[in-house]
């Protein structure tokens, strides 16, 4: 079974990408995993700080590990949007395949400082694990060295349906991540992957999201020479997403569209079955609604449209 690093490397070479989908319930887990199994593609399950607090930091790691072992399925776990070194450290210790330190609201210098601290800790953790003979093991998600992702450029923080673009979000070309700053950030932090602001935002804007700037993606990719991550892909067109993948994006994040699908599916299920009290019965349509979205996105991301 390949590691996440190997899959990312292949994605870059083939100009495809890996889908990253956030979850906070088992319905979400199975929606993502079943969709990826159907299409026979690797997939990443993401859990933000709030989602980890709800579903359990170590518990979701155990779930993903079990799925990998029992299904032989290439599903990976990412600690999404993590805002402190302490919380990055706990995810690394729990055996996550990758962790994002989100210092987008910090100064460039402070962002570099903490991101570098995260990178160094990941290396130290991997070295200790090798010395103890515990990596890979049956009690950790296989990954000799956790991937550390940095973020440069603010794109908002809320995965929900919005009336307006979040205040301060870098959607105008002048406010987007600059290639020269990205190059400095990567060189000084040693980060493995970079999430830039290229017209993307978290959440979905009523009336339509701004267009993604594939040209800026290509410029940043050329400057940093490491794989890029596209956050906030809910609400963006298939064409925009594909252009960004061609320009250097190796992982594409989707969250808000899954939340909308889950809620809509659940409301419809309860309305159609008002007397049903067995949760696994009225939750199934919500799970299937999410799975449909995951399948649609994976076809775009893996260039199977």
> Which domain, by its residues, includes 115?
4-301
Which pLDDT score, from 0 to 100, does residue 35 have? 98
Residues 6+ apart with CB under 8 A from 189: 111, 112, 115, 116, 119, 150
Q: Rounded to an integer, what is the distance from CA 275 to the centroid of its chain? A: 37
Mean pLDDT of 185-190: 98
Quick: pLDDT tens for 45-87: 999 999 999 999 999 999 999 999 999 999 999 999 999 999 9
Give the position of tokens 């601290």. Answer: 117
pLDDT digits (tens, 9 = 90+) for 123-140: 999 888 777 765 544 334
Nearest to 80 by CA among 36, 23, 141: 23
pLDDT of residue 259: 94
Q: Indicate if the pLDDT at residue 250 is higher than 60.
A: yes
Q: What is the pLDDT of residues 136-154, one digit of tens each?
A: 443 344 446 899 999 998 7
* Number of domains composing the chain: 1
For residue 255, the domain's CATH number is 3.20.20.70
């Amino acid at each position: 079974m390949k590691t996440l690093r190997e899959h990312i490397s292949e994605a870059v070479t083939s100009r495809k990408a890996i889908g990253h989908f956030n979850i906070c319930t088992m319905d979400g887990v199975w929606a993502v995993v079943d969709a990826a199994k159907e299409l026979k593609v690797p997939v990443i399950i993401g859990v933000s700080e709030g989602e980890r607090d709800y579903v359990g930091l170590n518990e979701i790691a155990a779930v993903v590990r079990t799925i990998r072992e029992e299904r032989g399925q290439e599903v990976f776990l990412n600690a999404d949007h993590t805002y402190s070194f302490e919380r990055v450290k706990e995810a690394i210790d729990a055996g996550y395949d990758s962790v994002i330190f989100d210092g987008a609201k910090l100064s460039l210098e402070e962002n570099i400082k903490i991101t570098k601290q995260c990178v160094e800790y990941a290396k130290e953790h991997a070295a200790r694990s090798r010395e103890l003979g515990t990596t890979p093991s049956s009690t950790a998600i296989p990954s000799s060295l956790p991937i550390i992702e940095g973020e440069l450029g603010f794109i908002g923080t809320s995965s929900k349906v919005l009336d307006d673009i979040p205040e301060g979000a870098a959607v105008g070309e002048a406010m987007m991540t600059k290639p020269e700053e990205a190059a400095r950030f990567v060189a000084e932090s040693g980060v493995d992957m970079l999430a830039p602001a290229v017209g993307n935002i978290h959440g979905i804007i009523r009336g339509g999201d701004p267009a993604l700037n594939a040209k800026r993606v290509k410029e940043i990719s050329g400057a940093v020479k490491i794989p890029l991550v596209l956050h906030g892909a809910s609400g963006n067109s298939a064409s925009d997403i594909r252009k960004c993948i061609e320009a250097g994006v190796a992982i594409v994040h989707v969250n808000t569209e899954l939340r909308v699908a889950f809620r809509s599916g659940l409301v419809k299920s309860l309305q159609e079955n008002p007397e049903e009290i067995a949760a696994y019965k009225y939750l199934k349509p919500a799970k299937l609604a999410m799975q449909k979205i995951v399948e649609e996105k994976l076809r775009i991301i893996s260039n199977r449209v």
